[in-house]
Amino acid sequence: MRLSDTAIKNPVFAWMLMAGLILFGVISFYSIGKSQLPDVDFPIISVSARWEGASPEVMETDVVDVIEDAITSVKGVKKINSTSRLGQASIIIEFDLKTDVDVALQEVQSTISQAQFNLPKDLDPPIIAKFNPEDQPFMWLSVAGDRPQRYLMELVRDTLKQEFTTLPGVGNVFLGGYVEPSLRVWLDPQKMAATEITVQDVVSAIQTEHSERPAGYLTSPTKEWNLRVMGEMTSSDDFNDLVIPARNGSPVYRTFQLKDVATIEDGLADARAISRVNLKPAVGLGILKQRNANMVDVGRRVTEKVAALQKTLPAGVQLAVNFDGTAFVKQSTHELNFNLILAAVLTSVICWLFLGSWSSAINIILAIPTSILGTFIILQMLGFTQNTFTLLGLTLVVGIVVDDAIMVLENIVRHREMGKPRVQAAIVGAREIYFAAMATSVAILAIFVPVVFIKGVIGKYFFQFGMTISAAVMLSLLRP
């Protein structure tokens, strides 16, 4: 028995089926993510390495060459590009399009870990990440004020970053113009010459004295205590009193303190980037969203959090939104949704003008929300978002989904005019046109399904476009 026969003989079932598709489609419409473009993983992996103070030549020979030799053994590598700068290097690995980026990422991580013993010991751990256009800050916040820069840096690091990272949908917070607070030891050459203390003596003293090591246990017949040696300095005054225990590797029997040969400054590390707001020093917070998260909802939560935190900040400190990428996304999705509704309305009016009957027009018009809203259920199941490609596909398919309903209705009306009862006319008319309606839908699918199989980076974007149209056309078959 065909679905049309079941629907005609059991009208309650047909209405419940349409109502279910519309209801769950509305739920999916409001819960599905919104973004400008589909969430696409490019077959590209980046490796970043930092070695403080190393020249570009040293970075190339000691770091880049070692990593490149290890990466070449990974399956699917198509091309490797590397750039070496002062103290840092960047390696871009391009894979074949058929390569699973997640698997390739794990293989690259494993390969670099195996080659770790060939890399310099004081090299920072390499950062390995996938390339995705969506993995860029879509909002930029700024923290500025009349307070010292160190205060702003500590406020952002210890308080504000954590406040935004814990928001639902926020994947990470990138700090722009941030300089790590640090303690500077300014050595005095004349005092060092007078005391015969070298730079290495000072470095060794800081490394050995400014450290907290396990101290073991203290036991008694009835109790046991966990010992902790408070070896780390907590302030610049503590560093002034730090003892230099050795000179040229030999013990010193006279007490020398760090303040005898140096001046301690509680400041910031060397600034490699700066951030300003209205010509004032500031710290930028770039908000990155999680994969498939609703960018508009995340942006709204961030804006609300900014307004709430501003009330708790000290006087003279301003927290503001300097760039909001969700404005374009909201405008774009609003225009596409408006065009989608406008297309449905115009289709309904045209159907009414040509059919000349409101009842017939309404019967056909019901195919639009059933197919369009039902498609959002499939989009959510596939992990798609409301973006330019999916909404464009739904806009194009509005006129297509009513074709089957018009053909079936016209044939039913023809049998009705021949004097057949309503139920018999509906059953016979739907049966006669069933394969014709299916052939029409299959012909349309034959046009758009190949879009799903487009190769290359462009194909990754048009995949959601083709799947959206195909799902809407298949759902339109439920109406007859």
Domain ranges of the chain: 3-38+329-476, 44-130, 139-180+272-324, 182-268
Report the candidate in 115, 106, 112, 55 with the shortest Cα–Cα distance to residue 84.
Answer: 55
Joined tokens for residue 272: 């490699």
Residue 45 near residue 101, CB atoms below 8 Å = yes
Q: In angstroms, rounded to a whole number, what is the distance separating the alpha carbons of residues 348 and 243?
A: 87
pTM: 0.67
Would you give the DSSP letter of residue 386? B
- Whole-number pLDDT of residue 133: 65
pLDDT of residue 479: 56
When computed from its CA atoms, the radius of gyration of the chain, rounded to whole angstroms, is: 34
Residue type, 328: F
Please answer whether residues 470 and 374 qualify as being in contact, where contact means their C-beta atoms are separated by less than 8 angstroms: no
Examine domains 44-130 and 139-180+272-324 and report if their fold is the same.
yes
CB 260, CB 191: distance < 8 Å: yes
300 burial via Cβ count (<10 Å: 0-12, 13-18, 19+): middle
Domain 182-268 has CATH 3.30.2090.10: yes
Displacement of CA 429 from its chain's centroid (Å): 51
pLDDT on residue 478 = 67
DSSP 8-state secondary structure symbol assigned to residue 123: P
Is-contact 40 462, C-beta < 8 A? no
> Using an 8 Å Cβ cutoff, are 310 and 159 in contact?
no
CATH 3.40.50.300 matches 3-38+329-476: no
Overall CATH class of domain 139-180+272-324: alpha beta
The whole-number mean pLDDT for each consecutive block of 10 residues of the chain, a chain of 480 residues, reads 68 81 87 78 84 86 89 86 88 84 87 87 85 77 85 85 87 82 84 84 81 78 81 76 80 80 80 78 86 81 89 86 84 76 77 73 75 87 84 81 75 79 78 78 84 81 88 74
**SS3 call for 205:** helix
44-130 in CATH: which number? Answer: 3.30.70.1430
Angle, alpha carbons 412-416-418 (nearest 5°) = 120
In whole angstroms, what is the distance from residue 216 CA to residue 229 CA? 10
Between CA 303 and CA 92 the distance in angstroms is 35
